[in-house]
Amino acid sequence: MTRLELSIAWRYLRSRSASRLLNFISVISIIGVLVGVSALIVIISVMNGLQNDLREKILVASPDIRVLTFGDAMVMPNWRQVMESVKAHPGVAAAAPFVLTQGLASRRGDHVEGAMVVGIEPASPNAARVTGIRETALQERDFSFVTTSGEIAGVALGKRLAERLNVFPGDSITLITAAGAQINPVTGTPVPRYFRFEVTAWFETGMYEYDNTYLYMPLAQAQEFAGLGEAVTGIEARSIDRWAADRVADSLRSALVSYRVVDWQEQNSGLYQALKLEKLVMGVILLLIVIVAAFNIVSSLTMVVRDKTREIGILKAMGMPSRSIRRIFLAQGTVIGMVGTLIGAVLGLGAAVVIDRYRLITLDASVYLIDHLPIQIEVLDVMWIVLASIAIAVLATMYPSLQAARLYPVEAIRDE
């Protein structure tokens, strides 16, 4: 684009004293693009923040990778050999056995709550730190499971589960299970087994499912509770790079063909797919604001062409080619789109930073599991939004610029 074309485009943009309507439409076009881009950046940042916050809450108690057996038994007798293979595998930072079963929890027998019982290694300097569950203990207690008598035989309850059972560290609860139970020869039903445990800790992850139903105990007690003997449910592992867990899991599947390997994304695939779809839909809906602003650009430039018909005819009569006329109006629309996009990007990023830093939008933590609206700005998302907005603005200039380029000089000069 030549300096002459740019100077004429700039003159047409600012020389509107004869037509206040054109000025107003151009301003509306810029505001439309501005609002669309800023809203899109803020909403996408909120969606990213929610995804990241939810992911971190899920992975507090859920490992990056789980190695399980096939079938319904969920029993791994030779787990030590499997664990050593997992530990030695490239990309694995730590691995440990776990037991996962279900049971009923009661304090005095008058009120019973269902619980997911998880058996892990007690907290110690040598214990493998596969998940962050040990860092969620409350009241200065830990996951060492040490009772008041000095035995490693306690349990740690989720805060919501403990509140419903009305138990505190130092109290005792009864756990009931049918796993490993004998069959009553008269009724043909399993005879429940009862275990008494001391509550040694509460924990709070911020994830409703964990705080409401999960209960942790030492691995040895969990094996006895689940009737597994020396076996475990499986092996849980932490990858060096959480985002590479799927590749590490694929590699483990090839190495452990007799076992089932699932990564954290596969374990929660339904939830993450729903969040991705929601993010996509919100992005498309808000992008419509920019598209509506693009129609304003079309109408604005069409009116400019109509207003400058005689000037265009004179320029073409003086020898200016059609492609130059087309570029003049293309430059006008591009400037409108870029100004709106850049201002909108600055306002959107500024609003996102302020909302996150000062926590302007508070939420009820008991309902939403978070106390404020999380924000996470992704540079790639911002770049795509800016590029898409500018591209839409440029495409919007095509029709009016072609309309201007097709004018015949004689007819344009005679236009009244």
Task: For residues 390 and 338, give the distance between their C-alpha atoms in angstroms, rounded to a whole number.
Answer: 6
| Residue carrying the six token digits 């740019």 | 6
Task: For residues 44 and 282, give the distance between their C-alpha atoms in angstroms, rounded to a whole number.
Answer: 8
Residue 201 phi, psi (nearest 5): -165, 155
Task: For residues 151 and 155, give the distance between their C-alpha atoms in angstroms, rounded to a whole number.
Answer: 11
Task: For residues 236 and 241, give the distance between their C-alpha atoms in angstroms, rounded to a whole number.
Answer: 15
pLDDT tens per residue across all 416 residues of the chain: 778 888 888 777 765 544 555 567 778 888 888 988 998 899 899 888 888 887 888 889 999 999 999 877 789 999 999 999 999 999 999 999 999 999 999 987 678 999 999 999 999 888 999 999 999 988 667 899 999 999 999 999 999 999 999 999 999 999 999 887 777 777 777 888 999 999 999 999 888 889 999 999 999 999 999 999 999 999 999 999 988 999 999 999 999 999 999 999 888 877 777 777 887 888 888 788 788 878 878 887 887 788 778 888 888 888 899 889 899 888 888 888 899 999 999 999 999 999 999 888 887 766 666 678 889 999 999 999 999 899 988 888 888 888 888 888 877 777 65
What is the Cα 320 distance to its own chain's centre? 54
Pairing type for strands 172-177 and 193-203 reads antiparallel
What burial letters (b/e) apply to 362-396, b meaning 16+ CB within 10 Å? Answer: eeeeeeebbebbbbbbeeebbeebbebbbebbbeb
Task: For residues 146 and 157, give the distance between their C-alpha atoms in angstroms, rounded to a whole number.
Answer: 14
Residues 275 and 50 sit within 8 Å (Cβ to Cβ): yes
CA angle 134, 226, 106 (to 5 degrees): 75
Task: For residues 203 and 195, give the distance between their C-alpha atoms in angstroms, rounded to a whole number.
Answer: 21
Tokens matching residue 248? 């590490």
Task: For residues 317 and 374, give the distance between their C-alpha atoms in angstroms, rounded to a whole number.
Answer: 60
HEC profile of the chain: CCHHHHHHHHHHHHCCCCCHHHHHHHHHHHHHHHHHHHHHHHHHHHHHHHHHHHHHHHHHHCCCEEEECCCCCCCECCHHHHHHHHHCCCCEEEEEEEEEEEEEEECCCCCEEEEEEEEECCCCCCCCCCCCHHHHECCCCCCCCECCCCCECCEEEEHHHHHHHCCCECEEEEEEECCCCCECCCCCCECCEEEEEEEEEEECCCCHHHHHHEEEEEHHHHHHHCCCCCCECEEEEEECCHHHHHHHHHHHHHHCCCCEEEEHHHHCHHHHHHHHHHHHHHHHHHHHHHHHHHHHHHHHHHHHHHHCHHHHHHHHHCCCCHHHHHHHHHHHHHHHHHHHHHHHHHHHHHHHHHHHHHCCCECCHHHHCCCECCCCCCHHHHHHHHHHHHHHHHHHCHHHHHHHHCCCHHHHHHCC
What confidence score (pLDDT) does residue 369 get? 62
pTM of the complete model = 0.74
Task: For residues 104 and 114, give the distance between their C-alpha atoms in angstroms, rounded to a whole number.
Answer: 5
What confidence score (pLDDT) does residue 86 get? 96
Task: For residues 70 and 83, give the distance between their C-alpha atoms in angstroms, rounded to a whole number.
Answer: 16
Task: Centre a 10 Å sphere on the Cβ of residue 7 and count the other Cβ atoms it contains.
Answer: 11
